[in-house]
Amino acid sequence: MKKKVLIIEDNDDIRENVIEILELAGYTVASTNNGKAGVELAFQDTPDIILCDIMMPELDGYGVLYLLSKRPETIAVPFIFLTAKAEHFDRRKGMEMGADDYLTKPFDDMELLAAIESRLKKKEGQQAFYSKSLDKLNMLVAKKDGLAALKKIIEERKSRTIKKNQVIYYEGDKGNGLYLLISGKVKTIKLAEDGRELMTGIYAADDYLGINAMLSNEAYADTATALEDSLLCLIPKEQLEELLNLYPEVAREFIKLLANDIREKEDQLLQMAYNSVRKKMAEALLRLQRQSNADNFKITREDLAAMAAMATETVSRTLSDFKAEGLIEKTGSTITILDLARLTKMKN
């Protein structure tokens, strides 16, 4: 089956040229010269890949990407930016927003075709990759007889790669689905009035993201950011609703997840309230150890400070103390836990 490519580019020469090349290469091509029309075309008939200029009047490339990422049907479509600007900052901004690649104009035919093919191939690779995470989801649904629903969900797997430091959703965004983290690591944070961050959660492979926003039908209460390159699977809201209504087991499972979450939050509250800095630090390290299942991990002082609700300087000092006491080892931003037992028993 022919792959559909959507091109959004306001320069007529370039657009026509690209269309010609792609049609020769056997793709079906849709095109437009402005961002708004591009978004609408994408919604009407989901393409397999999108090429998009950054600098455009009215709605620019970043805006297009943002709007597309709001809808489940377009969120997973590979997105390649076309631009004359090869500057560092723009490139990063685009990648952080979730673009998959970047072509600097002028580009030759081979470059273009190679980029498209590599993206399409990668996307297919991901479909196969889905790992245990989704199998677990299958289990969950299949427990009783949700076979049809199960098939449907898996067939329509939407996936999305997220790069380090990229924001998955912002506090206040209305969610469009539930995320299942397939690989990587993600943190959720809340911002205090003065700009300080508090980490409300840290997630690893097989964890669900945004459960409570999704299930309470409200906007996200925190901001989710990738701590490292991650792969996410989106379960669209409507399908989730359907599952919940059809299969009590699914609802029970989510209820359990939520209830445990509350438990954890309450524990954290107690710690935050009355524990000394040493104790809070120890607990933060233990949480990291538990969820990475390893005795060493990389984390910035800033993130640690946000986890334990203290100043970065205090983190530094406390870690130095811990090192002097033989509890941990540290080099740069890598921390290795040496004496788990004593950390666990840390007195207040």
Partner DNA sequence: CGGGACATTGAACCTAGTCAACGTCGGTGG
Partner DNA sequence: CCACCGACGTTGACTAGGTTCAATGTCCCG
Name the site residues for its own copies (rule: CB under 8 A).
Answer: 190, 192-194, 196, 198, 200, 211-213, 215-218, 221-222, 244-246, 248, 251-252, 254-256, 258-263, 265-270, 272-275, 309, 348
Residue 216 contact, options its own copies, DNA, none, Cβ 5-8 Å cut-off depending on partner type: its own copies
The residue behind tokens 């673009």 is 99
- Give dist(CA 33, CA 186) in Å, integer: 36
- The H or E element spanning position 122 is helix 109-129
Give whichever of 92 and 263 is closer to DNA, judged by the CB atom.
92
Alpha carbon distances (Å) from 292 to 203, 228, 281, 286, 309: 9, 13, 17, 10, 21
Give whichever of 128 and 324 is closer to DNA, judged by the CB atom.
324
Residue 222 contact, options DNA, its own copies, none, Cβ 5-8 Å cut-off depending on partner type: its own copies
**Nearest of 49, 52, 83, 82 to residue 66 by alpha carbon:** 52
The residue behind tokens 């609703």 is 241
Residue 58 contact, options its own copies, DNA, none, Cβ 5-8 Å cut-off depending on partner type: none
Residue 218 contact, options DNA, its own copies, none, Cβ 5-8 Å cut-off depending on partner type: its own copies
Alpha carbon distances (Å) from 305 to 65, 114, 195, 204, 285: 32, 43, 13, 19, 11
Alpha carbon distances (Å) from 279 to 124, 322, 345, 346: 47, 11, 9, 6
Residue 317 contact, options its own copies, DNA, none, Cβ 5-8 Å cut-off depending on partner type: DNA
Give the shortest CB-106-to-DNA separation in angstroms: 19
Nearest 5 degrees, angle CA 305-CA 306-CA 308?
65
Give the shortest CB-138-to-its own copies separation in angstroms: 21
Give the shortest CB-266-to-its own copies separation in angstroms: 5
Give whichever of 232 and 315 is closer to DNA, judged by the CB atom.
315
Tell me the Ramachandran region of residue 309: left when phi exceeds 0, alpha when psi lies from -120 to 50, beta otherwise: left
The residue behind tokens 């004593």 is 342
Give the shortest CB-214-to-its own copies separation in angstroms: 8
Which residues contribute to the site for DNA (CB under 7 A)? 88, 276-278, 300-302, 309-317, 319-320, 330-333
Give whichever of 60 and 321 is closer to DNA, judged by the CB atom.
321
Residue 302 contact, options its own copies, DNA, none, Cβ 5-8 Å cut-off depending on partner type: DNA
**Nearest of 100, 109, 121 to residue 50 by alpha carbon:** 100
Residue 255 contact, options DNA, its own copies, none, Cβ 5-8 Å cut-off depending on partner type: its own copies
Structure tokens at 41: 């075309």
Give the shortest CB-304-to-DNA separation in angstroms: 8
Give whichever of 220 and 322 is closer to its own copies, judged by the CB atom.
220
Length of the chain: 348
Give whichever of 2 and 88 is closer to DNA, judged by the CB atom.
88
Give the shortest CB-311-to-its own copies separation in angstroms: 11
